[in-house]
Amino acid sequence: MHFYSQLSKISFLKKRYAFKFLFVAFVGIHLPLIGLVFFVLFGKEHFTAESAIYFILIVTLLATSITLWTLKLLIKPIELASKALQKYRKKRIIPQLPIDFQDEAGLLLANIQSAVIENERFIDDKQDLVYLLSHDLRAFAANAKTLATLIIDEKGSEEVTEYAQLIEVSMTQQLEMIGSFIKLIHTEDEVTKKSKKLISVPLESLVAQIQLEMEAKLKSKNIVFQKNVILQSVKLKVDIDLLTRVLVNVVDNALKYSFENSHIEFAIFEANKRIIFEIKDYGIGFDPNKVTELFQKFTSKSRLGTAGEHSTGIGLYLCKKIVEKFNGEISAVSLGVNNGATFTISLPSFD
């Protein structure tokens, strides 16, 4: 950008990007001629037709190389704009582009910067509106559920009680759906704003934290949590809170679909310069042909757990989104219904 910036200080080049190219090309084309003039004027004693040809060839090649290199420097604003858009589109990284140049490339940079900022404001306003509407809808549903509960407690006629119970079930489902929707928006926004940092992750304490969070659910189903952690710590480019949330979610998913008095296996190991987190259960499993649907948003394939636990239909979708932010992969395999499932999370190692 330095060369482009210097050319932009020249008055007749300031407002036209094309003029900058033409100026560089003009100078580059005339370098061999200028060189030949100097060769003739100051090299008379060595001047021959053969030496002149060699000199012109050398100067032409040199001038061509310099011109091409200079033109490459001149397209830096376009490269900068392209990289900025790509980073924003893929990772929602807000660029800090120069906005003071007056030619077409400068206007492109300024417009991109302005458009990104306006888009961020629009996203924030939209999310605020969605949160507000979701909060109001949740309040309406909660009020309806409370009224239905009061009607049931009054123990009126059997028909009225039955209708009230249907309303209560319906309002409970609506509250769960609104809660899932709010969680989805909040988590997606959090994921886009979190940055990746190279950190040392203590695996023993990480697994211990996950086991502690799942302790009540493990006891309720009498499920044994078997861990196999070979490594002490690993270096990963992650956000530790989001990584913990993913692992807790996957373990919770395994618990939900495990039968009572069974066990879950949690293993962490390294393979092909990647850290592998493997969670295996022996529960109800799934149809191997429907594996891609597990990671879809609000999937229609969400099922009740073995103890009647409800599923929001967004947990694994959010896990996939977070893992992919860390340049990782998440996959699931099952031999079929009632044959358990294995979820694998793979992240690049930086040891």
**Which own/partner contact pairs does 110-113 have at CB distance under 8 Å and 24+ positions apart?**
112/81, 112/84, 112/85
Would the pTM of this model clear 0.85, i.e. be above it? no
258 touches 223 (CB < 8 A):
yes
Task: Let me know: does 262 contact 255? Beta carbons within 8 Å.
Answer: no
DSSP codes joined into one string, 135-199 = HHHHHHHHHHHHHHHHHHHHT--HHHHHHHHHHHHHHHHHHHHHHHHHHHHHHHHHHHH---EEE
**Rounded percentage of the chain residues whose pLDDT exceeds 90:** 19
Which helix (H) or strand (E) segment holds residue 330: the answer is strand 329-333
Across the range 111-137, mean pLDDT stands at 77
| Length, in residues, of the chain | 351
Task: Tell me the C-alpha distance between 227 and 204, whole Å.
Answer: 10
Amino acid at position 251, single letter: V
Sequence-distant (≥ 6) Cβ neighbours of residue 90 within 8 angstroms: none
Who wins on pLDDT, 116 or 309? 116
| pLDDT of amino acid 298 | 62
Nearest-angstrom CA–CA distance, 111 and 349: 39
Q: What is the rounded average pLDDT of the residues 171-187?
A: 68
* pLDDT score at 44: 59
| pLDDT, tens only, 145-166 | 787 788 777 777 777 777 777 8
Buried b or exposed e, range 203-242, using 16+ CB within 10 angstroms:
beebbeebeeebeebbeebebebeeeeeeeebebbbbeeb
pLDDT at 301 exceeding the cut of 90: no
| Chain Cα centroid distance, residue 157 | 55
Q: Phi and psi dihedrals of 341, rounded to 5?
A: -150, 155
Please identify which residue in the block is written with the tokens 């037709």.
Answer: 49
Number of other CB atoms surrounding residue 253 within 10 Å: 23
Contact predicate 344/294, CB 8 Å: no
